[in-house]
Structure 1
Amino acid sequence: MQDFRNLEVWKLAHQFTLIVYEVTKVFPGDERFGLVSQLRRASCSIGSNLAEGCGRGSDADFARFVQMSQGSASEVDYQLLLSRDLGFLPDEEYQTITEKLGSTRRMLNALLSRLRKS
């Protein structure tokens, strides 16, 4: 068992979640319980699954939670695209945030590969 706070991918996921919370503050009020809530929960789930996986007893268990983090990242990816297409997220902001998400996804893939090899 390891402290999730020591994982670079968790640190990146946490920073990404903070950004999602910030950009969704300006979304329309009628999206508060819709897209805003979904985006925030899915982005938070990336880091949450990493934290939970660190508390598991084996690399195989941890790998399962890394895969769940990957699924949440894919969910966020779509929700950001939808936000942009609905006009809630300007193109420049969309590009910046999806680049950060891409970095997180690459680190998740690398972590999963290492866990599967051990």
Structure 2
Amino acid sequence: METFKFEKLRIWHTSMDFGELIFEVSGRFPNDEKYNLISQIRRAADSIALNIAEGSTGQTNKEFRKFIGYSLRSLAEVVTCLHKAKRRKYLNDSKFSAFYKQAFVLMNSMGAFRATLKERK
């Protein structure tokens, strides 16, 4: 069976898993956050993997690097939402710390992958 290029990438799989965890935990936030923090964190978390996939279909490494950059920005958005959730007492310190560590590992993995995407001469 043939696969898409992005399906072979560990960062895509990791970001897919991370997005599902964010989806699950955000479902426990208060209902009055449905159109605010829940929506924001879910869209940002999904955007990480979506941008990796979209960028992988580009014609150049430069373009792919740009989309990895978008993914990194989305990850930063998720981390900010996690801080908001912690401040609003939707996440305890332990849960926050676990998600924060996962985000940090993912950020480093994406940054390392982006560094391998040198422009072909």
Q: TM-score, normalised by structure 2?
A: 0.93
Contact kept? 2:60, 2:119, Cα under 8 Å: no
Q: Which runs of 4+ in 1 moved over 6 A?
A: none
Report the counterpart of residue 53 of structure 1 in structure 2: 55
Identical aligned residues as a percent: 28
Aligned-residue RMSD, C-alpha: 1.1
Letter in 1 for 2:93: D
How far is 1:116 from its partner? 3.1
Report the counterpart of residue 95 of structure 1 in structure 2: 97
Letter in 1 for 2:41: L
How far is 1:81 from its partner? 0.6
Alpha-carbon distance in 1 for matches of 2:119, 2:104: 23
Alpha-carbon distance in 2 for matches of 1:3, 1:33: 34
Alpha-carbon distance in 2 for matches of 1:55, 1:25: 32
What secondary structure, in the 3-state scheme, does the structure 2 residue paired with 1:33 have?
Answer: helix
How far is 1:76 from its partner? 0.8
Letter in 2 for 1:106: N
> Which digits, 9 at most, give the CA deviation of each residue in 1:90-112, with x for residues without a partner?
11111111111111100110011
Q: TM-score, normalised by structure 1?
A: 0.95
What secondary structure, in the 3-state scheme, does the structure 2 residue paired with 1:79 have?
Answer: helix
Report the counterpart of residue 72 of structure 2 in structure 1: 70
Number of matched residues?
A: 117
What secondary structure, in the 3-state scheme, does the structure 2 residue paired with 1:49 have?
Answer: helix
How far is 1:47 from its partner? 0.4
Q: Which has the higher contact order (CA 8 A, sep 6+)?
A: 1
